[in-house]
Amino acid sequence: MIYADKIRERCAVFGVSIDGTYAAEITYNALLTLQHRGQEGAGIAVINDKTIDCKKDAGLVTEIFSNGALNKMQSGIAVGHCLCSSSSEVDDIQPAVTEYLTGRIAAVLNGRIANVRTLREELMTYGLSFAGTSDGEVLSKFLAYHCMITEDVLEGVKQAAGLLEGSFSLIVMSTGKENNKLIAVRDASGFRPLCIGVNAHGTAVASESCALDVCGFGFSRNIEPGEVVQIEDGRITYEQVVLTRKTKNTGLCVFEYVYLARPDSFMDNLSVYEARVNMGRILAQENKDKIEADIICGVPDSGMESALGYSLETGIPLVPGFMRNRYIGRSYIYPTRSMRENAVKLKLNPLKLNVENKRIILVDDSIVRGTSTAHVVRELKNVGVREVHMLVSSPPRKYSCRFGCTDEEKEEDLLANRMSLEAIREKIGADSLNYISIEGLKRACQKCALPQCLQCFING
């Protein structure tokens, strides 16, 4: 679910190269599909006669590209981005476009560059200035610098990417003396997802496979950790693993399966939907002898599949517990706590007829700070629920992410870092509280082609 105390750091990237002139329209549809990964801003850049035209702004995709804006962006190659960030300044919204002596690039980034401050300071010694504060702008200029000194876009991107630290999926669109091209890169540990799709007209790269499906590209494969892929004239012309892993952790951030991704996406050979149903089944195996309940309810949206899994495993009926208002903006953008709490209430309203006088198992994906969870439990009890047994489909999150995959919270702000299980239960007002085990989460995701990074649970 999307709340003030949920994980926010996630963005979407998309790139396409086709033999027509409607790349911007395809990218628009892709960004609509990936809007769940970022609702604070969006942008699309296209190549137009060796120049790059870019439109970006704060807000939703439909708001930014209204009134025929795409009609002015006819091209066969495009990149796009959805932003999820605490900043919605236009200069921090991507794509980030940089012009250098022999060409131009537009870069879109999903992730965080851990050594971005060092890169920024290095570029400033060369006389470069910055309009915003985003990793994307620094990265675009860093890439352009290396493209210039190597005199080759592919080599420049490979060289620059090899110097990056953190978690990232990156798409670069370039024009200049060389042919127009897209270059896609996934970090060497595979923290962030990235996949390729093809059809009769060209090739696309996306954060999630659901965008490829919607835009008519057949899923081809995932980009491997550390791999660089180049696309020219709609065809893949280079693909090779070139980056070296710099940390002992490797594998996809497990929160993609827990919360971040859309259920209809496949990531590294595992269906997100299947992973979440598995989490629910394993929650049931670990807890069914501890809890007596009449019904199971999932917290919309990402608690729903795990609730289904629990119901399938136990036979306890799965019942809708809430009506969700899908026209309310993200609650954490409101300036005061009372406004944020009211926004939460507007977003989810209990279905009293279904839950009144019932003992319910309530399944959610995570508890970070606990504020919204406490509100949901309180609202259920206000409409007459007898007991609320809270089950969470991820383990207690105790540590800040060192790799930039999730928010940069202070560890003392993470409820599980400073409270016992019983103290958390008391704070949120539930009658019982249990989390999936780390081994259980691993089992739920065992079909994934990569290991999963679990550092925020075990700090290993």
Distant-in-sequence contacts of 236-241, Cβ < 8 A, 24+ apart: 236/196, 236/203, 237/181, 238/154
Q: Are strands 227-232 and 295-298 parallel, antiparallel or unpaired?
A: unpaired
Phi, psi of 83 (to 5 degrees): -105, 135
Name 455's Cβ contacts closer than 8 Å, sequence gap at least 6: 249, 399, 401, 402, 403
Q: Identify the three-state secondary structure at position 198.
A: strand
How far apart, in Å, are the Cα atoms of 389 and each of 350, 385, 426, 431? Answer: 16, 11, 12, 5
CA distance 327 to 221: 34
CA distance 453 to 460: 9
Q: Identify the three-state secondary structure at position 384.
A: coil
Q: Identify the three-state secondary structure at position 351.
A: coil
CA distance 366 to 435: 9
Q: Active-site residue 11, yes or no?
A: yes
Select which of 11, 215, 453, 456 is catalytic. Answer: 11
- The DSSP-derived string for 248-314 is S--SEETHIIIIIS-TT-EETTEEHHHHHHHHHHHHHHHHTTT---SEEEEPTTTTHHHHHHHHHHH
Q: Are 397 and 370 in contact (CB under 8 A)?
A: no
CA distance 180 to 271: 34
CA end-to-end span of the chain, whole Å? 27
Q: Are 13 and 171 in contact (CB under 8 A)?
A: yes
User: Looking at the chain, how many residues does it have?
Assistant: 460
Residue whose entry in the numeric block shows the structure tokens 């394993």: 282
Active site residues per annotation: 11
